[in-house]
Structure formats: structure tokens, C-alpha cells
Structure 1
Amino acid sequence: MTKQLVQVMQALTKVHQQLNQQAKRKEQAIIQGDMAELEDVMKAESPLIQQLRKLENTRLHLVKNWKEANGIFKEDATMDELLPHFPESVRSELSYWSDQLVSEVRALQVQNERNQLLINDSLKFVNMSLDLMTVGNETYAGYSGTGEAADDAEADAGPVRSLFDSKA
């Protein structure tokens, strides 16, 4: 059972490495505004996420069975808390793969946060661009679009709204 757990930890680490590569591809696609590449990346991520779910379920099952077999009943025990209870022969290997997995998960979190910031910045830019496109259709401070003073009735009517005033 412990060898299976080591194999699952290795597989989880490798899938996270692949997800990290996809997240970096995603970053470049966002920066370049390449929607086709972004779509390709998202398609490539989908099977990795499914594989990750299966591996995580397997890991949870193996750990649960191992804890029951070894008389450990703490539900939310971390791998660091469980490591001293494993046989010496697999302890260092499990510790290594656990550290590798944590490192990959953290790197993925950082990359995903970076991508989220890029997406938010892109959305702000799009909204700002839409706002700038609609400014020409609005009337401000009692002046018409031609630079001449507007009639009081026209100024009281408020800004003229454009089709582009709605935000996505």
C-alpha cells in the first residue's frame, strides 16, 4: 500500500508540473492576446484536471486505508504528521515526493494568480477603451460636441448614451 502511495504522489507531482507548463503557456497567450492559443491551452488542461481528480481520490483512499490499518484516526492529518508512522524504507521517498508536490502546487498557485491579474488588467483595458469610444457621443458642462454652448434644454437632458455604453 505504501509503494502505491509513493507512485500516486509521483503521478500527482508530474500532473502538477504539466499544469504549470500549461499555466505558463496561458500567461503568454493572455499577454499576446492570442485567443486561439488560450483555447488550446484550456483544452489541454481539461484532461489533466480530470487525471488530477482521479489521482487525488486514489491518494485519499490509500491514505484512509493506511491510517485505519495503522490505528490512526485523526481525520485531517497532514503528510508531515503521518510520515513518522511510515516504515523507514519508504519514509524518505514519501517525504521527497510530498515536498515536490507541495512545491509544484505553490508554483501553480502563483502562476494562476499572475494569470488572473493579467486577465483583470485586460478587462480593465477593454472597459477603458469602450469608455473612451463613447466619450465622443456625450455632452459635458453645457457644451455640444461641436464646441459651441448647448441650449439649456439640451444640457439638462444629460449625456447622450451610445450603444457601446453597456459593459460586458
Structure 2
Amino acid sequence: MGPSLFLFLSILTISSAHGDTDLISKTCKSTKYYDLCVSSLKANSTSFKEDPKGLAMIMVRVAMTNATSTNSYLFSQATSSTNNVTSMKKILKECANKYGFAKEALQSSLQDLADEVYDYAYMHVMAAADYPNSCHNAFKRFHGLAYPSELARREEGFKHICDVVLGIIDTLGF
């Protein structure tokens, strides 16, 4: 390959990557959590090839991964030997199920995004983001059971990711 062709291809690659970074930055500016959005999208190598709809779909998958991780965490806590309180085990299993439902709602939003039915995608992400509230409320029903700090941290992270998805969907228009 001649030096001029190499230079041309290098410039083309750099400008293409820069343009994709600009799209990520521009898209993430429409969200409540810019840094979370940018870091999540830049961590995914396919995001540099996507349009805003594709970026929304990547963030939905990030949320699904988070919901799945929290679901697994809660089931493991419910079955661990350190949780001998029956009501605690019951609530942890209930919470695990809520995160499972959140993942299902996010799966529906992926299909809605693919079909470009953005109002339904938005609605499904809103529903997914609300499932942790049911979990939080379950702890309030049993006096004396504190909401675990690790679960609170996971809930906050999940809701932030969903907020990012909602911000991106807003840019797609309904």
C-alpha cells in the first residue's frame, strides 16, 4: 500500500471514529446521566457503528444485563444460609421476580425499538424502571426488615440506566 493511500485510509478511519464519538456524545446529552451513557456506549464496540436507535437498543441490553445480574444476586441471597429469616427470604425471592419482570419488559422494548414503535418502547422501559419500586415496597410491608444497601445501590443503578434509555428514546420521536 502506498504512503498516500495509507494516509487517506488513516484519515478516513480517524474521522469516522470521531464522528461516531460525536454521535454518542450528542445522543447522551439528551439523557439525565451523560457520563453513564457515554461510558456504557463506549464500552460496547458496536456502538460506534450505530445510529441513535441502535444506541438505544444497546442501552436496553445494558439494562437487561443489570436486571439479570440483580435477579441472580437476589436469588442467591434468598437461598444463602445467612438469611434464616423466612420473611426476608420471601421478600428477596419476590424482588428477584420483579427484576425478572423488568427484564421481560425491556425485552419487549427491544422489539418495539426494532419495529420503530417508540411510544411502546418508552412505556416498556418505564414499566421496567418501576418494578424495583415494588421490591422496595415489599420491604416496607415487613416492619423490622431494612432495605439492604447493596440492593439500594443496584436499584439506583438500574433506574439510572433506564433513565438513559428513556432520554435516548425521546430523541427518536414518537
**Max radius of gyration: which structure?**
1
TM-score w.r.t. length of structure 2: 0.32
TM-score w.r.t. length of structure 1: 0.33
